[in-house]
Structure 1
C-alpha cells in the first residue's frame, strides 16, 4: 500500500513538474560559467573610501547553477575550511617524520694557545666534527598513536570541507529561491496595480456616464493606493534580497544581481521515506566525523599510557678530530648503543590523561547517537514538507485559474451593470493572493527539496 501511494505521488509530481514550467522557460538556458566580472577583489583587505567605489554600476542576471559555481569559487568560509585541511595535511606529514631516524651533524674549528704574555708554545688550530644518528626503536605504541591521531584529524577536516560545501549549496539555493520570490512578488504587485488602475478607469467612466457612483470611484482609488503601497514594499524587499545574496556570493562592491531562472519545480525526489533515511545515515559527513573524533580520543588514550611504558632508542655517533700543523694524522671514532628508559612513577598523571580520553570516547559515542537521531528527524521533517508543498502546488495552480476566471466574470458583470465594484476589487485581491500562493507553493517545495538533499548530502535532484 505504501509503495502504491508513493508511486502515485511521483506520477502527480511529474505532471506538476511539467505544468509548473512557465512558457518562457523554453528560452535559451544561460551559460553555467559565471561572468568573470563577478570575481571579488584579489585583496581581501580592500576598504572602499569613496562613494563611487560602492555605487551599484551594473545588474547581472544569474542562474542557480551559476550562483552555485560562483559560491564554490568565492565563498570565504569554504576557503578557510580548505586552508584548515591543508594545515592538517602538513601536521600528518610532521607526525610521519617519527618513522625515520634523525641525523645531526656538528662541527667546530678552534684556535688555542698559552696567552699573549707567553711564547713557550705556538698556538694550534683544530677541527672537531660529530655526526649523530638517533632512532626510536620502540615507543610502546606512542608513535603509531600520534600518526593515527593526525590521520583521523585529517579525515575530520576532509569531511568538514564536504560538509561546508553542502551547507553553502543549501544556503545558495535557499537565498536564490528567496530572491526569486522577491522578484515574483514585485511582478504580482505590479500586475495588481495594473488591475487596480483598470478598475479605477472603469469606475470613473461609469461615473461620467451617470451609471456609477462616487463611492465606487473612491473604493477603486483606495484599492489602487493599497496596491501601490504593496508594490513599494515589495521593491524594497527585492533590493534587500539582492544585496543579501550578493554578500553571500562575495560579489564586488559595484555589482548587483537578479535571478535569471524562472520559477518552476526544481526536481523530484523518488526514493521512499525509509530509503531516504538509510541513505542519509550512509552519506552524512557528521556521523563519520563523530567516528573519527572517537578514534582520536582512543589514540590519545594510548599516547597517555605509553608515557609510563618502556622506551627504547638507537644512538650512533661518529667523531672526527684533526689538529692542523702537527705531525699527527686525523683521528676518528664511532659509537653505537641502545638507550632504554621507563617512567616508574609520574604521580598518576598518565592514567589521569587516559581516563580523560576514555571520557571523550564516551562523549563522541553519545554525540554520534544524538546526531543520528537528529538526521532522521530532519529527513522526516523535510520529506513531509516536500509532499505537502507538492500538494499545495497542485491546489494553488487550480486556484489561480479559478481566480482569473472569477475576475473576468466580475468585470463583465460590473460593465453590464449587474455586478458591483466591490465584487471586482475582491476578485482582483483574490487573483493577487492566488498568484502569490502558487509562487510560494513552488518555492516552498524547492526549499524543502534543497533541505532534503542537504539532509541526505545529495548534490543533484533525483
Structure 2
C-alpha cells in the first residue's frame, strides 16, 4: 500500500508539474512518503544496506575455492651464465682460468598453469561471516532511524509552512480590517467628524500591518524552501499545502497521545546490534590463536625452444603438478592479539553502560515530552481565549467609535491587541504541534499510520 501510494504520488506530482507550472499539492503524509524515498539521508541509508549485503557475499567468497590461471611467454636475449669449476673430470686443461662459464637454457620459453586453493579450517572465517550478516541487521536499523529522522524534520518543516500560511491569512485579514477603518476615518475627517490626527494614527497602524503581511509572506517562502530541502524535492518546483493546522491538531488525538506508553525504540536495536558486533570481533580475535589449514594444488605445462617457431612444438612441452596441505600455527605475535581482545572487552563494557543509560534517557524523554505537550495545550487554550476576547474588545471599540462615543486611539489599541493575540495564538499552536512531534519521537511512533 505504501509503495502504491508513493507511485500515485509521483504520478500526481508529475501531472501537477506539467499542468500547473511545477506546483505540487501535498498533504502531510504525501510529503513524508516523498521524503522517505527522495531525501539524501534515506537514499544513502538504503545504499548502505546494499553495501552490507555485498559485504556478506564478499566474506562468503573467502571460504569458497580460489582458482587462478596463468600463461607466460618469455624471451631471453642473453641466456644467463652459470660458472663451473675448472677441475677434472670436466675441466679443460688448456683453459688457464679456474672456472668455466656455461649457459643453461634456451632463448624462448612458455608455460600454462592453474592453481587451486581451498580453506579447510579457519575459525575466524565463520565468525566473520556471522558478523557480516549481523552488519546487515545494523544497516537495516540505521535505515529505520534515518527514516524516523526524516519524518521528524519533514513534519516540523511542514508545520512551519502551515503556520506561516495562517499568519499570512490573519495578517491580510488585519490589513483589510484596518483599511476599512482607515476609509471610514477619512470619510469622517472629510465630513468634519474626525481630526486629521485620527487618520494619521490609523495610517501608521495600516503601514505596520502591511509590513507584517510582507514579513509573513517572506517567512512563508523560506519555510517552503526548507520543506523542499527536507523532502529532497527539486527547488525549482513549487508546493501547495492542502491541509490546515486545525486538520492536523485534533484535541482527541493529542489526548490519546498523552496516554500512549510508547513502542520499542530503534536506537536500542542499533545499540544491541553494535554490542553483538563487538562480541563477534572479540571471538574473531580469540580465534586467531587457532591454527589454519588450507589445501593447495597446481598443474603446469611448460615448453621451450631455441627458436620462437619451435616453442609450441608438442615434443617440447612437459607437465608438472603438486597437491599439498598447509597448516599455519601461530606461536608468538608480541601479545598483539591479547591487546585487541582487551580492547574488545572494554568497548563492550562501554556499550553496555550506554545501553543502561539509554533506557533511562528514553523514559525521561517521554516524561519531558508529555509535560511539554500538556503545558503547550494549556497555553493554547489560554491564547485561544485571549484571541476571542481581543476580537470582542476590537468589535466593541469599533462600534463605539462609529457611534461617536469612543476614540480612534481606542480602536487602534484594540487592533494592536488583537494582532498580538493572533500572533500568540499561532505561536502556541505551532509549539503544540512541535511538542506533538517530539512526543511521537520519544514514544517511537513517528511512522505509525504510514505503513497502511
Shorter-chain TM-score: what band?
Answer: 0.7 to 0.9
Query: How far did residue 37 of structure 1 move?
Result: 6.9
Match of residue 167 from structure 2: 185
Unmatched 5+ residue regions in structure 1?
1-30, 40-55, 116-122
Deviations 1:197-242 (A, max 9, x none): 2222233333334333333323222211221222222222122222
Aligned with 2:448 (options 452, 456, 460):
460
Q: Which deviates more, 246-255 or 171-180?
A: 246-255
Q: Is the 8 A contact 2:16 2:22 kept in 1?
A: no
Q: Which deviates more, 172-181 or 259-268?
A: 259-268
Q: Is the 8 A contact 2:297 2:321 kept in 1?
A: no
Tell me, yes or no, if structure 1 residue 256 matches structure 2 residue 238. yes
Shift in alpha-carbon separation, 1:77–1:37, aligned structure 2, 3 A: farther
Aligned with 1:237 (options 219, 223, 234):
219
For 2:107 and 2:207, how far apart are their aligned partners in 1?
A: 106
**Alignment partner of 1:417: what SS?**
coil
Shift in alpha-carbon separation, 1:325–1:274, aligned structure 2, 3 A: same
Shift in alpha-carbon separation, 1:340–1:457, aligned structure 2, 3 A: same
Q: Is the 8 A contact 1:85 1:158 kept in 2?
A: yes
Q: Is the 8 A contact 1:179 1:258 kept in 2?
A: no
Q: Is the 8 A contact 2:302 2:317 kept in 1?
A: no
For 2:376 and 2:327, how far apart are their aligned partners in 1?
A: 71
Deviations 1:390-421 (A, max 9, x none): 33343334433333333222221221222222
Shift in alpha-carbon separation, 1:274–1:190, aligned structure 2, 3 A: closer
For 2:351 and 2:29, how far apart are their aligned partners in 1?
A: 37
Match of residue 291 from structure 1: 272
Q: Which deviates more, 82-91 or 362-371?
A: 362-371
Query: How far did residue 264 of structure 1 move?
Result: 1.4
Aligned with 1:307 (options 288, 291, 311):
288
Query: How far did residue 171 of structure 1 move?
Result: 0.9
Unmatched 5+ residue regions in structure 2?
1-7, 80-105, 305-311
Query: How far did residue 95 of structure 1 move?
Result: 0.9
For 2:320 and 2:9, how far apart are their aligned partners in 1?
A: 71
Match of residue 89 from structure 2: none
For 1:318 and 1:429, how far apart are their aligned partners in 2?
A: 96
Q: Is the 8 A contact 1:179 1:242 kept in 2?
A: yes
Aligned with 2:201 (options 219, 224, 233):
219
Tell me, yes or no, if structure 1 residue 436 matches structure 2 residue 423. yes
For 2:187 and 2:256, how far apart are their aligned partners in 1?
A: 58
Shift in alpha-carbon separation, 1:305–1:150, aligned structure 2, 3 A: same
For 2:301 and 2:368, how far apart are their aligned partners in 1?
A: 76
Q: Is the 8 A contact 2:23 2:240 kept in 1?
A: yes
For 1:385 and 1:371, how far apart are their aligned partners in 2?
A: 21
Deviations 1:17-54 (A, max 9, x none): xxxxxxxxxxxxxx855512789xxxxxxxxxxxxxxx
Query: How far did residue 129 of structure 1 move?
Result: 5.4
Larger Rg: 2
For 1:333 and 1:190, how far apart are their aligned partners in 2?
A: 92
Query: How far did residue 273 of structure 1 move?
Result: 5.9
Tell me, yes or no, if structure 1 residue 98 matches structure 2 residue 62. yes
Match of residue 381 from structure 2: 394
Match of residue 143 from structure 1: 125
Match of residue 52 from structure 1: none
CA RMSD of aligned residues (A): 3.4
For 2:434 and 2:395, how far apart are their aligned partners in 1?
A: 33
Query: Where do 1:18-417 residues align within 5 Å?
Result: 32-33=9-10, 34-36=12-14, 59-106=23-70, 130-139=113-122, 141-266=123-248, 268-269=253-254, 275-277=260-262, 279=263, 282=264, 284-317=265-298, 335=323, 337-417=324-404
Deviations 1:327-365 (A, max 9, x none): 899867663x43222111111111111112222212222
Query: How far did residue 451 of structure 1 move?
Result: 2.2
Q: Is the 8 A contact 1:124 1:325 kept in 2?
A: no
Tell me, yes or no, if structure 1 residue 425 matches structure 2 residue 406. no
Q: Is the 8 A contact 2:299 2:319 kept in 1?
A: no
